[in-house]
Structure 1
Amino acid sequence: METQLNAPTNLNVKWINPLAVKLSWSWRPSQNCDVRFRVRVNGTEKVPQNSTATHLLISLLTESSSKWILSVRATCGWNRESPETQLVVEAPKPRAELIDFRCYWSEAALNCSWTRNPKFSPLSLSYIECGGFESCLDQKFQHCDQADLRGERPFCIFKGNFLQKELSMVASSPAGTVTFKGPIAFRLPGVNVTENKSNAVLTFEKFDYREKAVYNICYSSCDNPWICSERNEIPCGERCRYKFKYQVRTDQYATLISSDWSEEIHGLCNGSREPDWILLVVIIVPLVLSFFVILSCICFRRHRNIICPDVPDPSALFKEMINNNKGIESKVHTYTPVQEPIEPIIVVPQIPPSSSGPVST
């Protein structure tokens, strides 16, 4: 029966700089075997794997956590391994918080800025180029060549070309520190849209990236799902509203650098123009309101006596009542009917004729 491998012992860490520790351990051989070791950080395998050394330099970044579980186990062949030994490591300083941190690339510099956090101000920024583990040991941190840390959005400018570099950054203040992979982005170039009969053509402003840039262009028509491609033409086949957004990035042969996505831009395709609400509000609506105002004034003048009739003065009315006037002279003319002419009619009674002759005596 094969003897189980001994577990590594005496795990120990030493902070080399604010973002890297040297993990070391001991191991007592239990049999003649080509033993290798597997190291994990929070359950994720670290590179290099299956090393024969009893130490490893590990980069621990506080961008997502300030506590880590490091574990080591010995392996022999494909199917034999020792129990796992663990060690909990905490960051040496409290974790600071960066708000809206961005670094924009230019051909000769990297411009980084962030939103001021009063709890962690003032905040200094530095970096090392740390693509591999061992390279973090003998490098010195590079600090800002130009900085302004006083405004609401402090900034730090590093001189150099950062296209093919992988940066590890440290933002530090008296109250805390945060370490993270340096994000590098392009500034979003402007775009001009021209139309022909069947397509909308997008022309982008030039920027100082001399290599091949790739544009991701997504569009949607009639509120249908987005369609994305790298072509700078949008087919205009439907008479409805078109909208698009875009992003620029490096090609597949360079280290990935990209810009943020633009906001949604509402374009016009194939004469499918939606109502111009600005024109409607600024011009048409005032004209319609003016027409109704003029019409109302004309109607008011024609029917003024009906809408606003003359009202007798109340003071004159009470004055006449006090003076015992017999009547109140009305300023309003009353209607007196005109008597129609009447002709007299003479009625003549009719005498009936006698039915017999004279009576003889």
Structure 2
Amino acid sequence: MNHQRDALLVLADGWVMEGWGFGARTTAIGEVVFNTGMTGYQEVITDPSYKGQLITFTYPELGNTGINDQDHESERPAARGVICREVAPVASNWRQRHTLADWLRRHGMVGIRGLDTRALVRRLREQGPMNGAVSWDGASAAALLQAVRTAPAMEGLDLATTVSTPVAYQWQRAADGVLDPRLQPAHGAGYRVVAIDFGIKRGILQRLNSHGCDVTVLPATADYDQVMAHGPEGIFLSNGPGDPAAVHGGIALARRLLQQERPVFGICLGCQIIALALGAKTFKLAYGHRGLNHPCGAAGRVEITSQNHGFAVDPDTLPDGVQVHRLNLNDCTVAGLELEGRPIFGIQYHPEASPGPHDADHHFARFTRFMERRRQQSRSDHSSPKC
């Protein structure tokens, strides 16, 4: 075992922490954020919404269950680096295929362990998220600090187009994709849903499938005609990384989609894009919402939710006719919005919640109910006698 600390974390404010490196012997620069989840490190690291970020895990030990081939939210790690207190020396799980360190090494991703993550999180809460560097290749603190201070800030970055699929594809339902026959469409085939990929998670696609949706995924650069060419019964706007106000193409697309009568459902970045398309504004949070334990609520109901976002909708800029139907109960920021009298809504958290919790799964059912009502109305219109 190497007793000499050989890796560095350098923050943009000049703070330096020493630790031990694991994964790939390289340097990564990005926005340093923290996640409060007690489990799900594999899903977190592969979540495209962490593009451009170095993740500090507040749970004191990672790697106990290794890495399997089923729980990825995307093809490869999306974050730039991992920061933690400790990594388990032995991983044990019946689905395990790799240790965390070996898997990061295979993908060229650096990690640092042995840090006082409580002190780091306190600093981020007090100073706000900032750029930083994790280095395990011998670079000096001074050189790293210079590189960090010249790196672009998260504000103004459109990262959604960098993680989106380059081509359209059909999400194939697994053999056991429909978990509950009660979620099958009431009339005929599955609901035709077009999902705009701003950084979509596999867990979301699986839950849409499980609620009876046949999903076509389109790139973030898709235009209105490309969307409507698929004859969607509903449109889904996905989660994703970066500054929502910088996703100009997605906002323009949403503006047109909101003018038609099909149901529209947005999650996280998708929710913010709906708000921006309606003329609202977003702002950067003091230190973001990232974890599996965020309470959100409305009158008489509280959901414990999974969240990952650094921006929020400014409620004072929402136009008339838009209702805030959920609040984050930690800081009273907007956690859900909807258009009065129309099948259009968004939520600022993850109802698919891989690995959990699942309090908010009912939002998928709400989306399918909107599509079912529209389908029934269409059947009724076509069956009505004509003069």
Q: Larger Rg: 1 or 2?
A: 1
Q: Which has the higher contact order (CA 8 A, sep 6+)?
A: 2
Name the one with the larger helix percent: 2
Normalising by structure 2, we get a TM-score of 0.18
| Structure with greater strand percent | 1
TM-score by length of 1: 0.19
